[in-house]
Structure 1
Amino acid sequence: MRSLQVLRWLPFIVMLGVALTDLLAGESLVFLPLLTLGPAFASVSGGVRRTAAVGAVALAICVPMAIYNDLLFTWENNLTVIGIVGVTGASMLASRLRLERERELASVRQVAEAAQRVLLRPVPRRAGDLRVALSYTSAAAEARIGGDLYEVVTTPHGVRLLIGDVQGKGLAAVETAAWVLGAFREAAYDEADLADIGDRLEASLARHLGGEQFVTAIIAEIHEAEMSLVNFGHPAPLLVLAGGELRTAEAPEQWLPLGLGMFDSSTPKAHRIPFGGGDRILFFTDGVIEARNAAGEFYPLTERAWLLHRDDPQTALDALRADLVEHAGGPLLDDAAMLLLHRPVTDETHQVMAPP
């Protein structure tokens, strides 16, 4: 906001500086041609009318200064007037084109936000007995969506989730993410086994991906005190047990990313990890652990896991995201999605854990 105010006043500051410099320099040096900087700067932030008004102010300054320098109606001053008029006209045209581009950009952003709401729907803050927190940081400037994807759905088979990362960036990655999410949302309700969901995703991608494109992903299902996972080449989630112990939920066997199933005929199998009352688990994409600081050091996620101990899961995840951005010292080079699940301690949990 402050920079915008500076831009709005910059044309007048420049023209005032030119006039004062010309007065102090005396008749030996003439700086009046520099008044054209006023309308030129006005086109950067102002509209057509404002740019024309700045040009008029430049002419209003030029005339008395020409009289002061005894240059009125001389060819030097006539060229200055012509220059101010010409630059003002060109600046008005530039201002009009800029405003048209800004309106087009605003329209595109509205479409992008609508696409975001369809593609990455708001994740429910509660799913079954779980509390859910989400953080998504796009590597594209001003963008809210990229190649990372996530979903949490409550199905007849229980709460199921997906987190993934599409190879590549840009609109092609967004399109691929849409195919994966659409296939998951259908399969999560229809299929009883996580491996079958993976087969559905693989079949969907086989119809739409070309070459050796792929999507790393984790499909998970929540049970009473456990969680089932199938990992398709994705970074393993971070499990924070109720007692504070930190574990990396590595799979005994990791399967090829989705889209590369043709290179492996084996059937993916789910593995189970403990997930009881008071436990938390953080799913994330590689944009988190591959974020580098100025010294080229990767983000030390396990060392920052203590930030996840805050009572409210979303507050904890927001703190972790802020620490990630601070570590990078600026925009991330890759999209970074984080999904935090927390299973609160209930009376039933105490009864199960209580000694006989």
Structure 2
Amino acid sequence: MGVRARAAHHQQPRQRSTALVLVPLALIAVITVVDLRSPTNIHLGPLLVIAPALTPSFAGPRLTALVGGLAIAAQVLIAFLHGGFTTSNHIAQIVALTALCALIVTFTAIRDHRVRQLARAQSVAEAAQRALLRPLPERIGPLEIATMYLAAEEETQIGGDLYTATRTRDGTRMLIGDVRGKGLAAVGESALLVSAFRLIAAQHDTLADLASTLDHNVGRYLVDFAQESGDTAEHFITAVLVDLPDDEPVAHLTNCGHPPPLLLRDGRTLAVDSVPAAPPLGVHALGDGKYPNESVPFDVGDTLLLYTDGVTEARDQTGEFYPLGERAAHWTKCSPEALVNHVRRDLLAHVGRRLNDDAAVIAVRRAEPTTVHPTEPGRESVGSQSSGSRPGPPAGPPAPR
């Protein structure tokens, strides 16, 4: 959405409410008539300022100026017909009303200018989000996918959480991660890891080797981010790498200091935490540089739920954490899209509509085998959550397991 379109979107409620201009016009008429019918020692003209003061709530500076001009004209009419135009009292009322109307119009113009600035900033944020977090396809090979991203900072749609996926020769590799920090300050570090993953994900035979390479390369640049920002705290990124072969009912995972994924199967929710998590990416000096690789069964109908700690550490008004595993157990039969929608609504209801940290979720379900169209390794499949097209029906019966 362009800047002008976004500004127009912000101003649509005001534009749809321009019929409310009848309210200040009616006030001007009523106050004028009542003042003219009142004794000369009663002055209701100062009440005319109410009309231009109400107008900015539903109109822009031009309509506000028009209403203000009508209020001033009404005050002049009252002065001419009710006591004399040249009396000091009427002159003072006209001058004061003119000054107040000018101030109201000025502040209305400033407000609209800031609305346009906000629209421009949001347009830039959306462009950054599209470049960094391109929507994942609804289907990649035998996998059905749905994602959710909730930014903690108001008026932004991006932050320190990240996810991406790419095709390899015989499967799909996915990444979900969380940069230390949140909001726009963490966007640069998120972009660094996402770009590195997209570039080299298909060049390594195992996730352990891929994690080691990401740790080595990302760590060098995180130091540069820290020096540029003057932040003395340590910079790192927690992440989970997932390798999902097309023709094997298994999921390979490497956990780099991230909350363990959940496996949804037969009405149960299992935490994939049998292998201890390695240190986060960017702090390879804390470990031996080796990352463990875990394999878990991931058969047709199973759903893998990847998430960031912004989900599980979200608190309600009593300080209770969001019980993702417990809630997800009720939705194990849902499609990935329905599951993600359930989590979104339930999470926002739990925290009272306001998150204190960025939150991201990926739901991946292995569907019935279909014909997998070859995709160049290292490139993402074409599609998006909003407009991705699903493949046709299977060419034949499922292969026996």
Counterpart position of 1:100:
113
Counterpart position of 1:225:
249
Alpha-carbon distance in 2 for matches of 1:245, 1:330: 28
Alpha-carbon distance in 2 for matches of 1:257, 1:21: 70
Secondary structure of 1:99's partner? helix
User: How many Å apart are 1:238 and its aligned residue?
Assistant: 1.1
2:149 pairs with 136, 139, 144, which one?
136
User: How many Å apart are 1:348 and its aligned residue?
Assistant: 3.2
Alignment of 1:114-263 (within 5 A): 114-156=127-169, 158-209=171-222, 210=226, 211-223=233-245, 224-241=248-265, 243-263=266-286
Is 37-46 or 179-188 further displaced after alignment? 37-46
Secondary structure of 1:62's partner? helix
Secondary structure of 2:398's partner? helix
* 1:87 to 1:250, Cα distance in 2 relative to 1, 3 A: same
Q: Residue deviations 1:51-99, cap 9 Å, x none?
A: 2101012123334555676475432322221122112222333333333
TM-score normalised over the length of structure 1: 0.87
Is 115-124 or 1-10 further displaced after alignment? 1-10
For structure 2, the residue ranges without an aligned partner over 5 or more in a row are 1-10, 227-232, 370-396
Alpha-carbon distance in 2 for matches of 1:326, 1:100: 34
Which residue type is aligned with residue 157 of structure 2?
A: R
Counterpart position of 1:62:
75
State the structure with bigger RCO (CA 8 A, min sep 6), 1 or 2.
2
Secondary structure of 1:100's partner? helix
Aligned pair count?
Answer: 350
1:330 pairs with 353, 357, 373, which one?
353
Counterpart position of 1:281:
304
User: How many Å apart are 1:49 and its aligned residue?
Assistant: 1.8
Contact preservation (8 Å) 2:219, 2:236: no
Counterpart position of 2:293:
270
Is 91-100 or 125-134 further displaced after alignment? 91-100
Alpha-carbon distance in 2 for matches of 1:6, 1:17: 21
Secondary structure of 1:236's partner? coil
Alpha-carbon distance in 2 for matches of 1:326, 1:29: 55
Contact preservation (8 Å) 2:261, 2:307: yes
Alpha-carbon distance in 1 for matches of 2:16, 2:45: 23
Is 158-167 or 17-26 further displaced after alignment? 17-26
Contact preservation (8 Å) 2:212, 2:289: no
Alpha-carbon distance in 2 for matches of 1:74, 1:15: 26
Contact preservation (8 Å) 1:157, 1:189: no
Alpha-carbon distance in 1 for matches of 2:302, 2:213: 30
Counterpart position of 1:348:
398
Contact preservation (8 Å) 1:52, 1:88: yes
User: How many Å apart are 1:8 and its aligned residue?
Assistant: 5.0
Q: Residue deviations 1:143-177, cap 9 Å, x none?
A: 22111100111112521100011111232201110
User: How many Å apart are 1:253 and its aligned residue?
Assistant: 1.3
* 1:4 to 1:156, Cα distance in 2 relative to 1, 3 A: same
- Could you tell me the percent identity over the aligned residues? 36
Alignment of 1:1-20 (within 5 A): 4=14, 13=23
Is 27-36 or 95-104 further displaced after alignment? 27-36
Q: Residue deviations 1:284-314, cap 9 Å, x none?
A: 1111112222232221212211453344321
Contact preservation (8 Å) 1:131, 1:343: yes
Which residue type is aligned with residue 218 of structure 1?
A: V
Alpha-carbon distance in 2 for matches of 1:244, 1:292: 25
Superposed CA RMSD: 2.8
Which residue type is aligned with residue 314 of structure 2?
A: A
Alpha-carbon distance in 1 for matches of 2:352, 2:13: 21
Is 223-232 or 67-76 further displaced after alignment? 67-76
Secondary structure of 2:316's partner? coil
Counterpart position of 2:380:
none
For structure 1, the residue ranges without an aligned partner over 5 or more in a row are none
Which residue type is aligned with residue 348 of structure 1?
A: P
Counterpart position of 2:123:
110
Alpha-carbon distance in 2 for matches of 1:291, 1:43: 38
